Amino acid sequence: MRFDHQTLPQRVRFGTGEAATAVAAEVEERGARSVMVIAAPSESELARTIASSITVTLWWDDVAPHVPIERAERARAAARDSRIDLIVSVGGGSTTGLAKAIALTERIPIVAVPTTYAGSEATNVWGLTTESRKTTGVDDAVLPAVVVYDSRLTLSLPVALSVASGLNAVAHCVDSMWAPNSDPLNRALAEEGIRAVAEALPRIAQEPGDVAARERMQYGAYVSAVAFASAGSGLHHKICHVLGGAYDLPHAETHSAVLPQVLAYNVGASAEAEERIARALGASSAVEGIEKLYRALPTVRALREVGYQVEAIPESVALILPLVPPSNPRDVDEEALAALLRRAYDGQPVA
């Protein structure tokens, strides 16, 4: 066994009902003098509650999916003008993504307070969209210095979005099995992440107010993102980043539609991934396990449900194919990729 693994430096404050206290403690310990709070309009009231014990210099709510570059530039300029020395982001992946866009150029530390299971808060990956093309990169400066997990903040997240966001966490794990920097440590974390998420999501779907299930889901989402941050982006995320940026598709739902197809395409070519995923899902095979999980959840199975057009498949193939990682366990050509996207478009069960 031989590998080179890097663990990212990050503090995690995990405590239900303790978000406001944790944020205030971080501001005090860091001696922050000028704090910027980022939250989408739908999260503004929640953000003000969480920040009730700190002095906020700048409130910012110009948040959009896939982080359009023009919005990032406006937020960066505002942070510079206000001499911001700490960012507190309250929300899902789009909010965290905007905070990362600011940190990328301004080198300002982030305290992330997630309200979904996106996992972006645990990675050093950034993404920006320019003229319908999404660009991603890796830079340790965008890794939030602190993540504050408070499961009560996810109770208002609708079941459908909870499920789609949770399946995005499973996608982090699946990609971690064969991404460019995959190693035994992040594959072990990925297996644990799948196990935790698969246990929590059906409980959340049945009883949205189950705080223990929400805690288990946040734990699973974090473990999944840590694995992904180490392993890098595999075929699944390359596909979803292109589709989201090029066609303005909703992030979480796009992941939930594409995930089963990528898993079914790749898993037969990786014995270790097959064994780990099947074991985590409590099934005799990875494909059987993912189908069992999807049948237990109200979730998006088809890209056509989120606005993707079948006529876009040839263009999508041309955009995705150059990005396919060499580490992918199966070769990917135009025909195979087009067939995968067609199955995802139709939402076909995998076999």
- Residues of the chain with confidence (pLDDT) below 70: none
Q: How many helices (H) and strands (E) does the chain have?
A: 13, 8
Per residue in 180-197, pLDDT (tens digit) is 999 999 999 999 999 999
Q: Write the CA distances from 297 to 14, 116, 158, 241, 341, integer angstroms.
A: 26, 17, 13, 24, 22
The label of the residue with tokens 């992030």 reads 251
Domain 11-154 belongs in CATH node 3.30.70.1450: no
Q: How far apart are CA 87 and CA 144, in angstroms?
A: 9
User: Taking the domains of the chain in order of start, what are their residue ranges?
Assistant: 11-154, 159-346
The label of the residue with tokens 């998420």 reads 197
Per residue in 236-279, pLDDT (tens digit) is 999 998 999 889 898 889 999 999 999 999 999 999 999 999 99
Q: What is the pLDDT of residue 3?
A: 83
Q: How far apart are CA 203 and CA 197, in angstroms?
A: 10
Q: What is the pLDDT of residue 71?
A: 96
pTM metric for this prediction: 0.89
119 in Cβ contact with 173 (< 8 Å)? no
Q: How far apart are CA 191 and CA 295, in angstroms?
A: 20
What residues pair up with 111 in beta bridges, in sequence order? Answer: 88, 146
* CATH number assigned to the domain covering 159-346: 1.20.1090.10
Q: What is the pLDDT of residue 2?
A: 83
The label of the residue with tokens 């699973």 reads 220
120 in Cβ contact with 237 (< 8 Å)? no
11-154 and 159-346 share one fold? no
DSSP notation for 192-258: HHHHHHHHHHHHHHH-TT-HHHHHHHHHHHHHHHHHHHHH---HHHHHHHHHHHHH---HHHHHHHH
